[in-house]
Structure 1
Amino acid sequence: MGNIHSKRLVAGIAAVLAYLYLSSSIPTEGPIPLDKPISDVVKKTIGGGWLDVFSLLGSTKGFAIVAVMVLIWLGFKRKDYLAIGVFVFALLSGYIVNSFLKDWHNRPRPASEHLVEVTTLSFPSGNAMIGFILYSLTAYYLMKTFQSGLSRFVIGLGAFLIIFFYGASRVALNVHYPSDVMAGFAIGVVWTVSWIYIYEALSRKFKNNKKISLPV
């Protein structure tokens, strides 16, 4: 467990530093130097049917479908009501934090034609942040269910690929700069790690309370 905690701590610190670097680098308008080469590669790589699939996985509709499925599974299959509470509050609070950060940085969307309708500001990407929280917490709860190393590896890899490619799809759709997506992922890491710690701390507290209340 100590090794896991160390990795989470390192990931959280690295994510904070990455966000601070990106937020201090963005201009009032337009891209930062790394945005254009990354955008060019993404737009050449992702297109057609794959773009439709990944954009759905990274859309509000896709998030809602996945979230409902996870809540049903947690409630009826695992009966883990603490996990449900953490899952819901992590997503809702993440949305509020993202909205605040967008207003704070006030970065406009890319000037090129948007392939889907967007109405909010650009930095950090809300879809990248909320999607990271959603898919990472889903993977975390799934990993707690499956004990084999191979199963956990497959779950982790699947979550990583979904997160990576739907993030890239936001760039391919011309609705975000790569730096928006990277910043969204960075805050998503911090928020996910924080809520995992909250879940585990509350789980230990409830288990200890049950042990104390047992008759001798």
Structure 2
Amino acid sequence: MEDKMDIKNSKVAFGGIVLSILLFILTIIAVSNEGELAFDRAITDFIHTLIPSSLDPFFEGVSELGDKIGIGIVALLFVILLWWKKKDYAGIAAFVLCVGLGNEVNKVVKDLIARPRPVTAHIQEADTLSFPSGHAMVGLLLYLFIAHLLAKDLKSNAAKLVLAGVAMLLILLIGISRIVLGAHYPTDVIGGFLFGGIWLFIWVFLYETYHERLNRRGEKRV
């Protein structure tokens, strides 16, 4: 029964990644042809209508959780936790490489696409490129990888769902904050989420495969 579930889950995951790759490619094609899309304008106007400007300070704080300093602090604290509590060296390596290299790959893609920021972007951000959103991508890598590793210690499926829900809500808020603050187009955020999901899948797959091999070696020695 478990083998059938694993096969089914693997097929779903593979299908999700293929779909994400296709959507990411389509998004690249769309943003390469125009600066601001009608879709971007519609979503941005809707969000600004829905969210009052009085909440800008809240979203500025949320945005900091996906910024370099926020990402660095959270990542460092989690690495310390993995080392001190779990001695999960493979987890530390995969986590650091996933987030660190993901940030650098994001910069490379930004240079290749070369999409300018929205005209409403802050001065310190206006000189940098826009697609895909680094906050959206790296925030997704950080908080979903943390949720994945923490979920291993949870026995209750309900607790795992709550953990995943909290992580995804935080990631969604980070993405919305970039639109609210005028730092990114909605398609930048969507592209960041899609690319982040693809990149995360690769590293989680490598991590799980590596651990399975270690477990098999341990069983043979015993």
Relative to the length of structure 1, the TM-score reads: 0.92
The residue number in structure 2 matching 1:37 is 42
Q: 1:71 aligns with which of 54, 79, 82?
A: 79
What is the aligned-residue RMSD (CA, Å)?
A: 1.6
Separation (CA, whole Å) in 1 of partners of 2:213 and 2:32: 46
Q: 1:182 aligns with which of 168, 178, 190?
A: 190
Secondary structure of the structure 1 residue equivalent to 2:124: coil
Secondary structure of the structure 2 residue equivalent to 1:34: helix
CA offsets 1:107-163 (integer angstroms, 9 cap, x no match): 111112x24732421111111111111111011011111110110010010011001
The residue number in structure 2 matching 1:198 is 206
Percent identical pairs in the alignment equals 32
User: Where in structure 1 do 4 or more consecutive aligned residues deviate above 3 Å?
Assistant: none
Separation (CA, whole Å) in 2 of partners of 1:197 and 1:65: 25
* Residues 1:22 and 2:30 are matched in the alignment: no
CA offsets 1:32-75 (integer angstroms, 9 cap, x no match): 12101111122233433421332122222211121112111111
* Residues 1:123 and 2:131 are matched in the alignment: yes
Separation (CA, whole Å) in 1 of partners of 2:8 and 2:137: 25
Q: Which amino acid aligns with 2:98?
A: A
Separation (CA, whole Å) in 1 of partners of 2:22 and 2:33: 21
Contact 2:116/2:129 (<8 A) preserved: yes
Separation (CA, whole Å) in 2 of partners of 1:126 and 1:65: 16
Question: Mapping of 1:104-115 within 5 angstroms?
Answer: 104-112=112-120, 114-115=121-122
Moved more, 45-54 or 11-20: 45-54
Separation (CA, whole Å) in 2 of partners of 1:45 and 1:53: 19
Relative to the length of structure 2, the TM-score reads: 0.90
Contact 1:110/1:177 (<8 A) preserved: yes
Q: How many residues align?
A: 213
The structure with the greater share of residues assigned to helix is: 2
Q: Which runs of 5+ in 1 are unaligned?
A: none
Separation (CA, whole Å) in 2 of partners of 1:212 and 1:144: 23
Separation (CA, whole Å) in 2 of partners of 1:79 and 1:60: 26
